[in-house]
Structure 1
């Protein structure tokens, strides 16, 4: 005889800061729920970050529900171990009803309107399902990687820990987003010879006119701007994050300066064949575009300062310290000295387990502030779910509260409907 599935009003899939924030607000309202996490709560911060990893936003922006940062350095940038400790303390406060080591393998609507939730520990039913697994589940590695010689060590950014992991020799870092730029810096500071295939990521200043740029942007209301009011609308969700670092108290990352110091820069990596790595002839364009974003943010701060009559020290805009000469569009791998490659080209989501009509043609969820058109299905923790901070410690708690308010209303409506039905 097949066992009847256990029922729980709300199922949360994912036990990171997003899922835990939803659990916090559900507990505040006394709503029964379960959190399913295939690993352990908030595990990615301890298992998928390099040793020198730190936040790129100041600690004062860490504001999980009921758990604001209260350490001694609000203007600093928590290091990996401090982030893990901060999240462990959050878990201890929330005390979520979490099933760690349990994977959700299928969610689909039943004929009676409930959701069937299949997991590695058994079957459940639920009225509401919150997808809190994030958009960074599957590391992206291009097919060209399969063609590279077996003598080349390859790893994704989520596997990189420190320079000592890599064999002696030169290192190719592919991608210049936040992870790529910071890993390239980590290797560069360790004295490794680094080759960097640059992408189209923008950059921003760490400090400008006497303050952290994040503080200026917060005063300017940027972090409260919703996706509906952003000039790019939904398109902002596809933007690459600006590269900058909080390392050693925070500083700019200037790829041009790295080049002056010996790092080899190339355009976008396009392929590999016949022993040669091939790069696009767009390095100058990519560097110029990154600097344009950098100076554009600073110019917006200048306008804000002028319009509000704020006293702030003057500061010149950035001028390039290095320009690429003749473009290098190919590199003979055997002659390059490269013995390892770190792929830093991002992740893709994995929502294959969710059978619901909530995705667009590109496989991305369609939602309004995390609420989808399919009743009872919600998303949380995605970049620009509602604001810039939706995928970060700063605003995920507000997003979670909004989603939980919607859940509470739906559950109340369902209870009312059941009452009149009987």
Structure 2
């Protein structure tokens, strides 16, 4: 028996996702008295509450936390909030926003009908709306490669999203695959706990924590880097594919130097590419990976040096970084049994999962094509994605600006010739 049209509730705006991005949009919609609802599959701020390890901290200073109407309100602006402090900060934000939210609701499908209205099928019934804001984030489906299926069933495996602490893992050596932010920080967490770690590195860059008297983030803020848009960036949309620099806010903040870890007993390898039934297979590119990460480190410092000189700022000089360890040779094979590996943590990122959204706005990699969150499909918007507009778009520092812009677009109903309506080329 079909659902009658009268049983389908129409709401002007539906927001999918109850994280900081979705609630930021709700904040501005409420300011303009625009009716809306937020659908959240789990609970508000679920990923922060359940998908971060115990020692997790922000990697940007607390002063950069600037959600709409809710700047950082603690007593350590130069510090780095720990996981529980982040959750408390976000809960206070949610308490301020008081969003019209339905928690525990799965959005099964969104499509646009012949009248240009969005049909939204959910686990609690069907809705219609004129505008949809997708705020479900850019980190949706954890990536675990097919080679994981070839590893022995007795080997404990997990993705970084599942990692909490070293006590989760069985005895034995831990293989961490991937050296981006999560991989480098989890490897450090295990290393500091006294666990033997083998780290399969990738092409992630690194950055200094403190340089010439300030946190590097503070220097880059003064230099205007965080206001550079995708369109202004030399890589254009390609910047969205960049791997985040590894650094940590742990213990008050410090840089991560994989070479130092190696000097202290961590085993480093190049990119892991396979398993032959007995041996793990690696590329012999460890030295190149370490050198490339250090080159980025030096380049950022060099840009800061130039800025300091141009502005005539008086600040202490710093001796250039010198590598504390070099690989004497590189191995392309490692016997899994002989190495004593008892567990593997996959830290190789996520892939998009928008299979429930029926709209011609995705490229061949499954990523939404947009300009500043505005897609080519009228009434369909995205927020909370890395480099949606600027570096801060996927962080606490830039989401307010993105949310305010999208709500202005919604308020104007994407008028012809307005700033919000832009030509978006769909790349298949």
TM-score interval, normalised by the smaller of the two chains: over 0.9
- 1:54 is aligned to 2:68: no
Residue 297 of structure 1 corresponds to which residue in structure 2?
300
After superposition, give the CA deviation of every residue in 1:178-197 in whole Å (9 maximum; x if it has no partner).
Answer: 00000000000000000000
- 1:66 is aligned to 2:69: yes
1:236-385 pair list within 5 angstroms: 236-385=239-388
Residue 417 of structure 1 corresponds to which residue in structure 2?
none
* Deviation for aligned residue 1:275: 1.2
SS state at 1:366 partner: coil
d(CA) in 1 for partners of 2:182 and 2:168?
Answer: 17
* Deviation for aligned residue 1:274: 2.1
Residue 128 of structure 1 corresponds to which residue in structure 2?
131
After superposition, give the CA deviation of every residue in 1:37-71 in whole Å (9 maximum; x if it has no partner).
Answer: 10001110110000000000000000000000010
d(CA) in 2 for partners of 1:97 and 1:85?
Answer: 20
Q: If the length of structure 2 is used for normalisation, what is the TM-score?
A: 0.95
In structure 2, do the counterparts of structure 1 residues 45 and 287 end up closer, same or farther at CA, with 3 Å as the change threshold? same
Given candidates 389, 394, 408, the residue that maps to 1:391 is 394
After superposition, give the CA deviation of every residue in 1:201-241 in whole Å (9 maximum; x if it has no partner).
Answer: 00000000010000000000000111110010000000000
Residue 146 of structure 2 corresponds to which residue in structure 1?
143
* Deviation for aligned residue 1:412: 8.8
- 1:16 is aligned to 2:16: no
SS state at 2:221 partner: helix
SS state at 1:173 partner: strand
Residue 110 of structure 2 corresponds to which residue in structure 1?
107
Contact 2:150 2:277 in 1 (8 A): no
SS state at 2:409 partner: helix
Deviating above 3 A after TM superposition, structure 1's stretches of 4 or more consecutive aligned residues are none
Residue 231 of structure 1 corresponds to which residue in structure 2?
234
Contact 2:105 2:123 in 1 (8 A): yes
Contact 1:298 1:317 in 2 (8 A): no
SS state at 1:229 partner: coil
Residue 117 of structure 1 corresponds to which residue in structure 2?
120
d(CA) in 2 for partners of 1:231 and 1:113?
Answer: 37
d(CA) in 1 for partners of 2:308 and 2:262?
Answer: 33
d(CA) in 2 for partners of 1:107 and 1:393?
Answer: 28
After superposition, give the CA deviation of every residue in 1:327-361 in whole Å (9 maximum; x if it has no partner).
Answer: 11111101101100000000111111111111112
Q: If the length of structure 1 is used for normalisation, what is the TM-score?
A: 0.97
Contact 2:108 2:123 in 1 (8 A): yes
d(CA) in 2 for partners of 1:121 and 1:328?
Answer: 55
* Deviation for aligned residue 1:411: 8.0
Residue 211 of structure 2 corresponds to which residue in structure 1?
208
Contact 1:174 1:344 in 2 (8 A): yes
SS state at 1:302 partner: helix
Contact 2:176 2:346 in 1 (8 A): yes
* Deviation for aligned residue 1:166: 0.4
Residue 424 of structure 2 corresponds to which residue in structure 1?
none
Question: Where in structure 2 are there 5+ consecutive unaligned residues?
Answer: 417-428
Given candidates 155, 158, 165, the residue that maps to 1:155 is 158
Residue 174 of structure 1 corresponds to which residue in structure 2?
177
How many residues are aligned here? Answer: 413
SS state at 1:363 partner: coil
Residue 405 of structure 1 corresponds to which residue in structure 2?
408
After superposition, give the CA deviation of every residue in 1:1-44 in whole Å (9 maximum; x if it has no partner).
Answer: 62421110000011111001000000010000010010001110
